[in-house]
Chain A
Amino acid sequence: MSNVLIVAEQSGGNLKKASLHAIAAGQAIAARSGGQVHVAVLGKGIGALASELAGYGVTVHAADAAGLEHHLAEAYAPVVASIAGANGATYVGAAATAFGKDLVPRVAARLGAACATEVLGFGGSGPAVTFQRPMWAGNVLAEVELATPVKAFTVRPTEFPAAQKGGSGEVKAVAVAEAPLPTRFVEFKEVKSERPELTEARVVVAGGRGTKGDFKELEGLADDLGAALGASRAAVDAGWVPNDWQVGQTGKVVAPELYVAAGISGAIQHLAGMKGSKVIVAINKDPEAPIFQLADYGLVADLFKAVPELREKIKAGKGS
């Protein structure tokens, strides 16, 4: 029996949606390994969330302790590793969010496991699961095998469906021994936004160097469409917009229904983060911009003229 342990991510007792995609990935492995899906949730004041997770038909291990209030891998890793060991988990995974990327390799090291990161899908046959993952900024797909008894992984949430509610699993409380940590939380500066989260939005409006730092029209378009705002690395490096707007291999990977890239030339690095979008619109003055090669609809135009015009059309369309 090869059980699967998925680490759910929460903040302030609220589940990160990416975790549901990781649970679905865990269910896909369990269906092949013949094991069961267990979910670990760690934090402070997570009782209600643990019950909510049990509604996905998984066994939930809830570690509720003051020392787990903040996401510190040094505090989380021993707890996750001990839950994995006690429950016969031979697969241990999470979503490839900043939380998962920080934590899972540390858990893997503790379990003597190898780890596959940013997994896009599973290969192999029967219980011999291989992992498909991107390399070279998404220019190459690799199929990797993990040659350790316990296997760890992080999955790219956009590549897996969200787990569906159904069944009711057991919730088990996990006792946590508090130990002094080498790392201490100081503060979290949240980037507050009224807009949907970048990785979860139905529409993303993104700007690059071509905005020259003026995102006003793009913000307006995002508001009209109920979209999240994104940016290329150039725009973020210039300090025009917050870091966490960056879409790309080294930033956020998004796959919305509509992605509008304005003033973005389309460096490979950026394309790797958005080419999974269903419909891509590119607006750029340079007809040779690489983004046009992959955009479904390319418009060679000055974004400062085209975007206001598009907003007018959308407004007029809503009125009719």
Chain B
Amino acid sequence: MPLKILVTAKRVEDPESKIKVKPDGTGIVTDGVNYKMNPFDEIAVEEALRLKEKHGGEVIVASIGSDKSMTEIRAALAMGADRGILVKHDGPLDPVVVSAILDKVVEKEKPDVVLLGKQSIDDDQNQVGQYLAERRGLGQATFASKVESLESEAEQKKQPGLVLSADGKALRVVREVDGGLLTVDVSLPAVVSCDLRLNKPRFASLPGIMKAKKKPVEELAAASLGVDLAPKVVVKRLSEPPKRQGGQKVADVAELYAKLKNEAKVL
């Protein structure tokens, strides 16, 4: 049974970039910072593509942000997504606003599955999937993972970690929770948020990148959707976390043991 999948691709600071807070605490220093698709969203895109490769269907990638977010949409299209939706919004985003916008996109597109990263690595909120599922009255399978490791044969074969039921009405999702793995069946349509161990995202191929340039991307103004765009999680101030005083080296195990026993008194 073909699946219509909506997947998100947020533009975030490259996790390899050094993040520094502006002296006045109003934001971060953006000079010299690179941007890319949220790594958790890359996992969601990969999973969407694997599901499509197995079952057929369509993968639609959505991003919310300035014109620059077109780069992340093109990146997902280059990986293999079919078309894009860019919801243009220059103001600050929080999970309340983002889920309200996605709610409208889902209402219009009626996907069978919404796949998102469990969190974005900029504000690390981990909320949008849960909000969206509640707003639409859908089931949520957060922190999707799989039993097999990322070095396993199933992963080499690019098998999807999410398993569609024989009747095509539900997805079986292995969720990574405290103390183990919790498996649930969630009825479609459903919202699934992806954790680190679900898959290893593919790299875009050169033909993929060329094709992506011709794939359709619909542009919408967030202001036209009729949702409240005022953030409700209001950032007042940013600061650098307190630095840890470390850096002492010990010469050998004997000194380490002595320090732990007599100085730190933890043994």
**8 A Cβ contacts from A271-320 to B:** 275, 278-281, 292-301, 306, 309-310, 313-314, 317
Given contacts A137-B15, A299-B256, contact A183 B125 (CB under 8 A): no
**8 A Cβ contacts from A110-134 to B:** 110, 114-118, 130, 133-134
B94 CB to closest chain A CB, in angstroms? 7
The reply to whether the CB of B127 lies closer than 8 angstroms to some CB of chain A is: yes
The reply to whether the CB of B96 lies closer than 8 angstroms to some CB of chain A is: yes
Taking a contact as CB atoms under 8 Å apart, the answer to whether A190 and B180 are in contact is yes
Q: Is the interface of B mostly helix, strand, loop or mixed?
A: mixed
Taking a contact as CB atoms under 8 Å apart, the answer to whether B252 and A299 are in contact is yes
Chain B contributes a number of interface residues (CB within 8 A of A) equal to: 82
Chain A contributes a number of interface residues (CB within 8 A of B) equal to: 90
Taking a contact as CB atoms under 8 Å apart, the answer to whether A117 and B127 are in contact is yes
The reply to whether the CB of A135 lies closer than 8 angstroms to some CB of chain B is: yes
Taking a contact as CB atoms under 8 Å apart, the answer to whether B178 and A97 are in contact is yes
The reply to whether the CB of B105 lies closer than 8 angstroms to some CB of chain A is: no
Residues of B within 8 A of A21 (CB): none
Given contacts A102-B140, A109-B130, A135-B122, contact A239 B151 (CB under 8 A): yes
A119-157 Cβ-contact flags toward B at 8 Å (1 or 0): 000000000001001111111111111111000000000
The reply to whether the CB of A244 lies closer than 8 angstroms to some CB of chain B is: yes
Contact of B185 among A184, A188, A281, A301 (CB under 8 A): A184
Contact of B141 among A139, A183, A187 (CB under 8 A): A183
Residues of B within 8 A of A145 (CB): 234, 236
CA distance A243 to B253 in the complex (A): 30
The reply to whether the CB of B156 lies closer than 8 angstroms to some CB of chain A is: no
CA distance A222 to B69 in the complex (A): 46
Taking a contact as CB atoms under 8 Å apart, the answer to whether B247 and A292 are in contact is yes
Taking a contact as CB atoms under 8 Å apart, the answer to whether A105 and B95 are in contact is yes
CA distance A103 to B142 in the complex (A): 10
Given contacts A135-B238, A269-B15, contact A182 B187 (CB under 8 A): yes
The reply to whether the CB of A48 lies closer than 8 angstroms to some CB of chain B is: no
Given contacts A105-B127, A135-B123, A136-B124, contact A188 B236 (CB under 8 A): no
Q: Which 6 residue pairs of A and B lie closest in terms of their CB atoms, listed nearest first? A: A239-B149, A182-B139, A114-B232, A105-B130, A109-B134, A294-B246
Residue pairs across A and B with Cβ atoms less than 8 A apart, 26 shown, are A98-B177, A99-B177, A105-B127, A106-B131, A110-B134, A115-B127, A116-B233, A117-B127, A135-B122, A135-B238, A140-B21, A142-B237, A147-B231, A181-B139, A183-B184, A184-B184, A186-B184, A188-B181, A191-B180, A238-B149, A239-B149, A243-B181, A257-B266, A268-B15, A292-B249, A309-B253
